[in-house]
Structure 1
Amino acid sequence: MQTYQLVPHPSHPPVAVARVEARMISASNNWLRVRWRVDGVSKLIVPPFAGKGRADNLWQSTCFELFMQPEGASGYSEFNLSPSERWAAYDFTGVREGMTERPFEREPTCTMRTGMAMAIFDAELPRAQMPDPPCSLGFAAVLEEQGGVKSYWALAHGNPDQPDFHDPACFTAEFARTRAA
């Protein structure tokens, strides 16, 4: 599956993070698997383990986000995934409008592996609780580094003054319907 390069918002540059890429690893009947790779992690702050569970405001520290907008719809879904293993899922009726918690019967799995120069964050989301393809996708990441510096990474940024992952300009990837064999 295609790998997408994320770009930092120009008004919030990173300190040491040099590159972020994201991709969908696989989409089966049971799971949607996504991965983010972060290069230049020497100053990255990783939230401590908190155990699985729904939580708000994950974007206040390092977290990874996936947006899915079904083809032809004005509404979309947002999934926030933290290295702490906390997560959140929301539905919107329009851009930042009509927000409700998206029901999840089975929790996503979040796994972060860090090395000297890079980190890999994998998430597995229960397929039955995700929007059906075809969808536009927005991969994003908030990366907190030492000194309280936060950079905001997305496929594209529609507003040059302030990061906004909800901007439709950020939804440039695609999740196509798979053909039956």
Structure 2
Amino acid sequence: MRRALTRHPTTPCPAVETIEVEAGRTSRGGLALRYRLRGVLADLIVPGPAVPARMDGLWEHTCFEAFVSFGGDGYLEFNVAPSGRWAAYRFEGYRKGMAPFETDPPRIEVEAGASQLDVRVDLALPEAGPVRLGLTAVIEAADGGLSYWALAHPPGPPDFHRAETRVLAL
């Protein structure tokens, strides 16, 4: 299923034309995600390849995210940078009870050109049942400004943790 992310209206980013996402389940019950950014990559800060490792604070720079709920108040947050660095967290409720989510490292594949960035990610999930997804991106412009992209934005400032952002059912 392919969908477009929309930019939060308070966070301009003229270098990005579109960000499309695709999401599906893997044969092992995980998630297969693809983020495709089109625009002028030279006007963005895109982290270069690094040793794949878990790392906090990825959302402070260009990264792609998935917020996953299985029903109830709890949810998972996954952050993936084009560098190959990643993070995974578990929450008990809205921004409550944050803890590292112990999981296998995601498989991350990145292809970059002058006008397109493709990031493919396979994530392991603790359950194989239905999920609701909020697929998002934080994009850093060359001037250091951040723009926030999501399938849905609730009213107010950008906030990917709100349940209203998890609009995709798989």
TM-score normalized by structure 2? 0.93
TM alignment of 1:35-46, pairs within 5 A: 35-42=34-41, 43-46=43-46
Match of 2:141 in 1: 145
The alignment's C-alpha RMSD in Å is 1.5
**Does 1:114 find its partner at 2:120?**
no
Task: Count residues with an aligned counterpart.
Answer: 169
Q: Which amino acid aligns with 2:19?
A: V
Residue 41 of structure 1 contacts residue 119 of structure 1 at CA under 8 Å; is this kept in 2? no
Kept after mapping to 2: 8 A contact 1:80/1:89: yes
2:160 maps to what in 1?
A: 165
Question: CA contact under 8 A between 2:29 and 2:127: conserved in structure 1?
Answer: no
**C-alpha distance in 1 between matches for 2:59 and 2:168:** 21
TM-score by length of 1: 0.87
Does 2:155 correspond to 1:156? no
Which shifted more, 21-30 or 62-71? 21-30
Distance 2:166 2:127 in 1: 14
- The 3-state SS of whatever aligns with 1:35 is strand
The gaps in structure 2 that reach 5 residues or longer are: none
1:25 to partner: Cα distance: 4.6
Unaligned runs of 5+ in 1: 176-181
CA distance in 2, matches of 1:25, 1:62: 23
For residues 31-84 of structure 1, what are the alpha-carbon distances to aligned partners after superposition, in whole Å with 9 as ceiling and x for unaligned? 53210011113312111222111110001110000011003x110000001111
Q: Distance in 2 between matches of 1:31 and 1:165?
A: 21
> In 1, Cα distance between the equivalents of 2:70 and 2:25?
18
Paired residue type of 1:96:
R
Q: Secondary structure of the equivalent of 1:59?
A: helix
1:123 aligns with 2:118: no
Give the Cα separation in 1 of the matches to 2:40 and 2:163.
29
1:11 maps to 10
Maintained 8 Å contact 1:7/1:153: yes
Task: Return the alpha-carbon distance in structure 2 between the equivalents of residues 30 and 170 of structure 1.
Answer: 22
